[in-house]
Amino acid sequence: MNEHQIVRPYGDTTGDGMVQVSFTLPIPHDKRAEGAALQLAAKMGMDPAMLVHAKAMGPDFTFFVVYGTVNHLVDVSTVRVVERDFPELSAAAVNQTIRKKLRRKLVVIGACIGTDAHTVGIDAILNIKGTAGHKGLEYYREMRVVNLGAQVAVPDLVEAARAERADAVLISQVVTQRDAHLHNTREASAAFREAFGADKRPLLVAGGPRFDELMAAELGVDRIFGRSTTPGDVASYLVDALITRRERAKETVHA
């Protein structure tokens, strides 16, 4: 059993409980609006709270930054996260494994589905230029990458996956208003189950900055990647999930 590890927020000095939050209220900027912001901060448990920034956002909204003390504690030992359960491979190792074990190119399709037009994330993973010095999946010689771009309807994504005989489908979602990312991902996973069956569908991977990585099973996908994911992370996971684990499963059956 994990021992409790209690921590408090840090602002000016260790353990002082100081936090900074920002939010917008749907009221014009005036003294009453600033008082409303401090009232909200107090109800959030900030005592005392200091208003450090207020700015009108058009005639009817005000943006605030509030700084203050909270008494809440965090037990780090109870925090649940998705740990990496696959080895991190170099590009050369990824290519070598695909060539040796799969003996053909690994086919990956990616798209922003629904009305989401933000392709920065999916492009960073798929396009050869990648992100932050990490080459995208197009850089991997043993992968064939199909980037469908933005605002792709789920039926079109399913059809493309069937036509390309995709091994994996990457779903990118940035727009989160009214939980659109969750609705769209559930719709996609249901469509793939219906079209392919649970045992024959491509590997489904969802990604975006607002996803909870613990929700993969609930959303019907195999893996969720969040912020700071690199193309190498995705490539390593695909090789492990599509090749290495299947090889281990075969060995277990024949043992």
Q: Which residues pair with 217 in a beta bridge?
A: none
pLDDT in tens, 107-119: 999 999 988 888 9
Q: For the segment 51-86, what is each residue's pLDDT rounded down to a tens digit?
A: 999 999 999 999 999 999 999 999 998 988 888 889
Average pLDDT, the chain: 92
Q: What integer pLDDT is reported at residue 210 of this predicted model?
A: 87
pLDDT per residue over 180-190, tens digit each?
Answer: 889 999 999 99
Which residue pairs, CB below 8 angstroms and at least 24 apart, start in 56-62? 56/28, 56/29, 57/24, 59/28, 60/26, 60/27, 60/28, 61/24, 61/25, 61/26, 61/27, 61/28, 62/24, 62/25, 62/27, 62/28, 62/29, 62/33, 62/37
Q: Which residue has the tokens 């090789």?
A: 239
- pLDDT (tens digit per residue) in 151-197: 999 999 999 999 999 999 999 998 778 888 899 999 999 999 999 97
Q: What is the identity of the amino acid at 195?
A: A
Total-model pTM: 0.80
CA atoms lying within 13 Å on the CB side of residue 130: 19
End-to-end CA distance of the chain: 34
Q: What is the pLDDT of residue 186?
A: 95
Examine the pLDDT at 132 and tell me if it is beyond 90. no
Tokens matching residue 93: 């190792």
Burial class (CB within 10 angstroms; exposed 0-12, middle 13-18, buried 19+) of 117: exposed
Q: Which residues are catalytic?
A: 129
What pLDDT shows up at residue 167? 96
Q: Which of 191, 203, 120 is nearest to 158 (CA)?
A: 191
